[in-house]
Structure 1
Amino acid sequence: MATREDMARSFGAAAQAYEEGRPDYPAEAVAWMLEDAGPRPRVADVGAGTGKLTRVVARLAGDVIAVEPDAAMLDRLRGAVPGVETLIGTAEQMTLPDESLDAVVLGQAWHWVDPAAGSREIGRVLKPGGVLGLIWNIRDEEAPWVARLTEIMKGSHAEELLADGGPLVAQPFDSLERRTWSWSRAVTRATLTAMVLSRSYIITAPAAERGRIERDIAALFDEIGAVGEASVDLPYLTHAFRTRKAV
């Protein structure tokens, strides 16, 4: 069985599926996270992946640095968000100067981070009063077919963290504010399949388990009418959190 570390470092092997299958983040949720970061903030997107959050931040803030440990994911990001500065790094270790940023955001990533070490390093690179924003897109399992999809492909570390009360941060940060947005995206069978195949559990699963998942999702997609180019609405809940570095 794959370890948590294996899963955390697995996404580069499925960078194309990640880019094709994962949703962008609602602009209003990202704007809320950055609300107190100033009019033209300098922002680092940490654990940036293929740039799903980076591209929204770039539209809102303009000055964004993408920090990501996986070179394959950064290659995809550079194609998706041309001209953005990129760095190899993690929340626990960034090659950025002290107090050089107005905000740091993490999309679909804090559940892989050591909260104490990550908070300490992010606190180092943020200016006093700088913003830390955390955000997740989670499928809304109020829809019965979505709940069945989760049963087939298993829940994620992110879903477990949010169900257990949400993320934790440490000094120099205090309590987190939280807001949730409900929305949906129209997806085809190809997009749904890519989303499933981009998940760390499936990327690192033994061949037999991966085969079972692929067969079961195919049967489910047939049942809900996600056939060929036909689309279905996939509902999401976006959970966003923000806090500020102590002054």
Structure 2
Amino acid sequence: MDEGDRLRHASSFGRAAAAYEEHRPDYAQAAVRWALDLAPGPRVLDLGAGTGKLTGTLVAAGLETTAVEPDPAMLAELHRRLPNVPARSGSAEAIPLADASVDAVVAGNAMHWFDMAFAGPEIARVLVPGGILSGLWNVLDDRIDWVAELRRVSGSEAIGPRDTPDSWRAETATAHLPANGATARFGTPEQAEFPHGQRRTADSLVETLATRAGMLVMPEREREARLGQIRAFLASRPETAASEFELPMLTCVLRTRRLST
């Protein structure tokens, strides 16, 4: 994806902020604990926080959480859901926090949108020495037969890179770490995966996939045709046709530590 397409996809979510909040999953609590268990203190920045899907989990865990989000519509939804959480307009490339002001930076399904040439030094700047940078992604468990077929029917616009375990492992092995000299600010990354799930119906799963960036930037007729294909597939499968079901997922985590020097 070239830079223009990256920016177009990254900025697409605001038009679907309410649907994003309603239909996107939260994160496995075990994954959140692992993402932060090396952090030297309780001050956490949720960077690219969106509507606060991860922010709420952090707050519920008793962490001193600040959210930063660039999209006004997504930020407004976060304020509506979590009115007592400090939430500010800003981006990974220009973080509106002081130097060494947080013990951890986390990003839920967001780090792949960061321009790490600029975001890497900014994240290092706001972290204390020894602080933690963690990216979390919810991916579909395509080791399950019907999920693998759903991926094929949905196409890469709805279920793309990073959206299944194997592709996530490959895509995040090096791609989302601070680059252009900033890598030296961080230690060797670790990956971990945690079972997760989301209760869905066929209709609500279609609505979930409709909030993916690749779907949001599609021409309307093409988008509706693709969503129709997904609905038809879900109606044809015994696992998903009749009633509510568990969507098998993993919460996958990429974690690294800011070096002291």
Please give the TM-score of this superposition, normalised by the length of structure 2: 0.87
What secondary structure does 1:183 align onto?
Answer: strand
Unaligned runs of 5+ in 1: none
Supply the distance in 2 between the matched residues of 1:207 and 1:12 (Cα, whole angstroms). Answer: 17
Structure 1 residues 78-87 or 154-163, which shifts more?
A: 154-163
Q: Which of 139, 157, 163 is residue 170 of structure 2 equivalent to?
A: 163
Give the match for residue 8 of structure 1. Answer: 10
Structure 1 residues 130-139 or 183-192, which shifts more?
A: 183-192
Q: Deviations over 1:66-118 (max 9, x none)?
A: 11110101111122223111111111111111111111101101111122322
Give, as a single letter, the amino acid of the residue that structure 1 aligns with 2:228. Answer: R
Identity of aligned residues (%): 39
Supply the distance in 2 between the matched residues of 1:127 and 1:165 (Cα, whole angstroms). Answer: 24
Deviation at 1:161, TM superposition (A): 5.5
Q: Is the 8 A contact 2:51 2:78 kept in 1?
A: yes
Supply the distance in 2 between the matched residues of 1:45 and 1:67 (Cα, whole angstroms). Answer: 6
> What is the RMSD computed on CA atoms of the aligned residues?
2.0
Give, as a single letter, the amino acid of the residue that structure 1 aligns with 2:248. Answer: P
Alignment of 1:110-149 (within 5 A): 110-149=111-150
Change (3 A) 1:74 1:206: same
Supply the distance in 1 between the matched residues of 2:121 and 2:62 (Cα, whole angstroms). Answer: 24
Q: Is the 8 A contact 2:162 2:171 kept in 1?
A: no
Alignment of 1:28-177 (within 5 A): 28-38=30-40, 41-151=42-152, 152-154=154-156, 155-159=159-163, 162-164=169-171, 166=173, 167-169=176-178, 170-177=183-190
Supply the distance in 1 between the matched residues of 2:71 and 2:210 (Cα, whole angstroms). Answer: 18
Structure 1 residues 138-147 or 193-202, which shifts more?
A: 138-147
What secondary structure does 2:25 align onto?
Answer: coil
Deviation at 1:217, TM superposition (A): 1.1
Change (3 A) 1:190 1:80: farther
Q: Deviations over 1:11-56 (max 9, x none)?
A: 01111221122110011111111112245x1111001011111011
Count of aligned pairs between the two proteins: 245
Supply the distance in 2 between the matched residues of 1:137 and 1:56 (Cα, whole angstroms). Answer: 14
Supply the distance in 2 between the matched residues of 1:204 and 1:113 (Cα, whole angstroms). Answer: 19
Q: Deviations over 1:170-222 (max 9, x none)?
A: 23112111211123222112321221110001100012220221210110121
Supply the distance in 2 between the matched residues of 1:162 and 1:8 (Cα, whole angstroms). Answer: 21
Please give the TM-score of this superposition, normalised by the length of structure 1: 0.92
Q: Is the 8 A contact 1:31 1:60 kept in 2?
A: no
Q: Which of 228, 236, 246 is residue 215 of structure 1 equivalent to?
A: 228
Q: Is the 8 A contact 1:45 1:106 kept in 2?
A: yes
Q: Deviations over 1:148-185 (max 9, x none)?
A: 22222423343455433533332311211121112322
Is it true that 1:204 corresponds to 2:208 in the alignment?
no
Give the match for residue 180 of structure 1. Answer: 193
Supply the distance in 2 between the matched residues of 1:82 and 1:88 (Cα, whole angstroms). Answer: 15
Supply the distance in 1 between the matched residues of 2:29 and 2:18 (Cα, whole angstroms). Answer: 23
Structure 1 residues 184-193 or 51-60, which shifts more?
A: 184-193
What secondary structure does 1:171 align onto?
Answer: helix
Supply the distance in 2 between the matched residues of 1:245 and 1:61 (Cα, whole angstroms). Answer: 23
Q: Which of 10, 27, 35 is residue 29 of structure 2 equivalent to?
A: 27
Q: Is the 8 A contact 1:47 1:68 kept in 2?
A: yes
Change (3 A) 1:34 1:53: same
Change (3 A) 1:70 1:137: same
Structure 1 residues 184-193 or 202-211, which shifts more?
A: 184-193
Is it true that 1:189 corresponds to 2:202 in the alignment?
yes
Give, as a single letter, the amino acid of the residue that structure 1 aligns with 2:171. Answer: D
